[in-house]
Structure 1
Amino acid sequence: MVKEINKGLKLKILPNGSMVEVLEQNMGNARFIWNNLLGMYFNLYLLFNFHGYPLYPNIRNFNAMLKMLKQENAFLYEGESTSQQQVFRDLNKAFTKFFKEGAGYPRFKSKKNPKQSFRIQKNGNNIRITNRRIRLAKLGYVHYRTSTEYKKLLKTSKINNVTIKRENGKYYAIVNITTTVEELEKTGKSIGIDLGLKNLATLSNGQEITNLDLKREDKMIQKYQKKLSRQKYMSKNYQKTLKKYYKWTNRKNNKIQNAYHQLSKYLITQYDIIAMENLNIKGMFKNKKWAPKLQKISLYKLLNMIKYKAEWYGKTFIQVNRFYPSTKTCNTCGYKNKNITLKTRQWTCPICKTKHHRDINAAKNILNESIKQNNLIKKRIKI
C-alpha cells in the first residue's frame, strides 16, 4: 500500500559573503517580529484582562500587529514576506499549546542563541531547486550538498516550504516535501521496549542496546566550553575556539542521529507492534542526577523517530501509561512487588518463583499491556 507523507530533507547550503548577510538579516527580522509581537500581545492581554475582557490570540490579530510593526520599521519590507507571516503563525501555535495543552508560555528569542532560523513558504516560483543549487526569494541561487537519494526526491516531489537554519556555525536548508512511501511487509512479530539510563533500551526478547560511547566528544566539548568562558566574546581567538567547539558538537549530534536512525529503522522493519512507555521526559529533567545523562542520550529524539516511522510504514506504535508499574509487576503471574527500588537490578517473584531481570521484565510487561490496549481499540472500532 502506498501512502502520502510529508518529509523534511536537510541540505547543507554554501552561501557566499553577501548571501550570508541576507540570511542573517532575515533571521534577525524573524526574531525581531517574534519578540515584538510577543511583547505587544502581553501588554494588550494585561490591558484587556484588567477591564475584564480576556484577549485570546488569533491569526487575524497577529496579522494586524505585523502590519503595524512594518509601518513603524521600514527595514522589514526588505525581508522575505512569507517568512514574516510564518512567524505569527508559529507564535499563534505556541499560544494555542499554552492555553489548550498546558505547554510553557512562549519565550523571547535571543540573538546569542547558536540556532537561528526562518521559514519560506512556497508561493509560485519563489523556491526553485536544480541539481546543485537552490533558489530562494530575496537571496538568489545558493549551492548545496546532499545525497543522491535526496536529489531524486527533490526532483519528483512537491515542495511545501523551506526552513533556512544556522546551527553550530553552518547553514542548512530543510526542504519540506510531499512524497509517497510503500508500507513495509508485516512480520507478525511484536516487541516491548524499556528505555533507561544504564542501557539505552532493553527489548522484551532479552536484547540490550547499550548507550553510545560519547566520552571523547563530551570531553572535547567540555574542554572548549571552558576555553570559551575565559576568552573575550567574539574576539579572533574566541571565534577560532568556537569553530573547534562546533566541530565536536556536530560530531556528537551526527553520531547520535545516525545511530538512532539505524535503530529505529531496524525496529520498524522487524516488528509490527512496537510498545514503549509514555515517559515524562520533561519531568525527568528536573532530577539533578538524571538530567546530565538524559541530555547526553536524547531519549525524546529516539522515541519521536520510532513514532513517525511507524506511522509512515504502516506499523503500530503504542505508548503505555507512564504510571503503569511495569518494573514492579511479575510478567508471569501478575504479582506486584512493592519493595523494588532503583537499585534493584534482579528479583525473584515470591508467588511463582520466576527470576526477573529488572529491565527485561519491564519490557515484557510493556508489551503485554500494549497488546491489551490494542485489542481494546480494535473492539471499539468494531462497535
Structure 2
Amino acid sequence: MKARYQYRFYPTDQQRQSLAQLFGCVRVVWNDALTLCKQSEKLPGYNKLSAMLTQSKKTDERKWLADVSSVPLQQSLRHLDIAYKNFFNSRNRKRKGSKVGAPRFKKKTNSQSAEFTKSGFWVKNGKVYLAKIGTIKPIWSRELPSQPSSVTVIKDCGDRYFLSFVVEVQPSLIVAKNQSIGIDLGVKTFAVMSNGEKAVSPNYRKHDRKIRSLQRKLARQQKESQRRNKTRLRIAKLHNRIADTRKDFLHKLSTKIVNNNQVIVLEDLNVSGMIKNRRLSRVISLQGWREFRNLCEAKSEKYGRDFRVIDRWQPTSQVCSCCGFRWGKIDLSVRSILCLSCGTEQDRDENASKNIEMVGMGHRHDLKRAGSDCKTTSVASYCELSRITDVERR
C-alpha cells in the first residue's frame, strides 16, 4: 500500500524565488488548460493538452515556461484530466462518496504545489535534489521506508514549505490486546470508548476567537493592500496552529486505538446535517470527526485490523446496553440515565459506545445478555421518561 511522508524544509532566498517561479508556471498552465476545456465543446484529453503546452512554449507570451522543469507542468495537466474524470464519474454516479465539483481556477493566495516524478528528483545522503531548483535539505523527523515514487513541493497559506513523498509501505501485523471497541464521538468529550476510556479534544477556543477578530479586521481593509496581506497571513498561521494541534491529537488517538484493538467500530454520523445547527456548527467543524474516521480506517488497513461503521439510524443512545430496554429518544441535555428495567444508572455516552460495539459485532439491541434475567421491553411509555433521566446542563 502507498502512504505519504511529509517533511518541512526552509529554502534559501534563491530557492524561494525559483519555487515562486515554478508555482506561478504550474498555476498558469492549469488555468490556461482549464480555460481551454471550458471553451471546447468536447473535453480535450491529456495528450491534446500536452501538445498545446509544447506549442505555447514556442510563443512569445509563454516562452518563460521553459525556464522551469517540464515535469511539474505535465503533472498539472494530468491532475486536471483526473479532476474532470472524477467530476463526470461523480455526476453520473459512477464514483462512490460525496459529490465532486468541477475543477476551479487556481489563485495566488491559496496554497501552491508542484509534483515531481522520478525523472525530476532524487534523494541521496539526506538531501533532495529538484530539477532546476537545487538541493534541499528537509528536516527528517523519520526515515523513509522505501524509495519514493514522487515528491510534491507544497507552500501553504502561512508561507511554510513542505516535501510530501509517496512511498510504498508493507502492512505490519501487531497483536492486539483487546478484541473489539466501540467509539462514540461527541463535542464536549471527543471520544467515549466502550472500555470506559475518554478522550478530550484540545481547546481551540483561544485561537478561534483571535481568528474571528482578525477576519472582521480583514473585511474592513482595502483589497490587494500590504496591510490586508499581513492580516491574511496572520489568519493563515492561526488556522495552521489549530490544524496542527488537531492533527497531532487525532494521530495519537487513532494510533493508540488501532494498536490495542482488533475490531474498531464507529457510528456513521451525518456531519453535513449536524453543522446546519448554527449553535454547534463551529464547534463541530473544529473537532475533525471525518478526519479521525479516515485515520482509523487507513491505520486499520496498515496494521491488519477490522474497521467497521454501523448505520446512523441505529438507536444507540435510546437503548440500555445492559438489558436491552428501550426508553426512547431523550434530549441532548440529559447526560446520565437510570434504566427502568434493570435499575442501572450509566453515562449516556458510555452507554452509546457499548451499544455501538454490540451492533458492530453483530448483536441486536433487544438481545438478552447471557446470565441476565432482567425483563426486556421494546419501548418505554411517555409518562415514565421523567423517572429515568438525570439532567446535567453543559
Question: TM-score range, shorter-chain basis?
Answer: 0.7 to 0.9
Give the one of 272, 275, 295 matched to 1:282. 272
What percent of counterpart residues are identical?
Answer: 28
Deviations along 1:93-148, one digit per CA (max 9) or x if unpaired, are: 3334332235132241341543221211222xx2122345311112121232232x
Distance 1:96 1:327, change over 3 A: farther
8 Å CA contact 1:11–1:174 kept in 2: the answer is: yes
1:222 aligns with 2:218: no
Higher mean displacement: 202-211 or 95-104 = 95-104
Distance 1:112 1:77, change over 3 A: closer
Equivalent residue for 1:83? 72
1:111 aligns with 2:95: no
Partners in 2 of 1:352 and 1:273 — Cα distance? 28
Partners in 2 of 1:346 and 1:360 — Cα distance? 10
Distance 1:299 1:127, change over 3 A: same
CA RMSD of aligned residues (A): 2.7
Count residues in correspondence: 350
1:347 aligns with 2:343: no
Deviations along 1:173-208, one digit per CA (max 9) or x if unpaired, are: 111122345321232431100111221111112222
Equivalent residue for 2:149? 160
1:61 aligns with 2:60: no
Equivalent residue for 1:54? none
Higher relative contact order structure (alpha carbons within 8 Å, sequence separation ≥ 6): 1
Q: Match of 1:10, SS?
A: strand
Give the one of 275, 297, 301 matched to 1:311. 301
Equivalent residue for 2:139? 145
More helix by percentage:
1
Unaligned stretches of 5+ residues in structure 2: 57-61, 364-394
Partners in 1 of 2:117 and 2:223 — Cα distance? 35
8 Å CA contact 1:132–1:145 kept in 2: the answer is: no
Higher mean displacement: 261-270 or 127-136 = 127-136
Q: How does 1:90-101 map to 2 (within 5 A)?
A: 90-98=79-87, 99=89, 100-101=94-95
Q: TM (normalized to structure 1)?
A: 0.81
Q: Over alpha carbons, which structure has the higher Rg?
A: 2
How far 1:267 moved relative to its partner?
Answer: 0.8
Partners in 2 of 1:258 and 1:371 — Cα distance? 29
Q: TM (normalized to structure 2)?
A: 0.79
Q: Match of 1:372, SS?
A: coil
**Which residue type is aligned with residue 30 of structure 1?**
V
Distance 1:280 1:76, change over 3 A: farther
Deviations along 1:263-287, one digit per CA (max 9) or x if unpaired, are: 1121122211111012233343344
1:34 aligns with 2:30: yes
Equivalent residue for 1:272? 262
Partners in 2 of 1:287 and 1:67 — Cα distance? 50
Q: Match of 1:67, SS?
A: helix
Q: Match of 1:182, SS?
A: coil
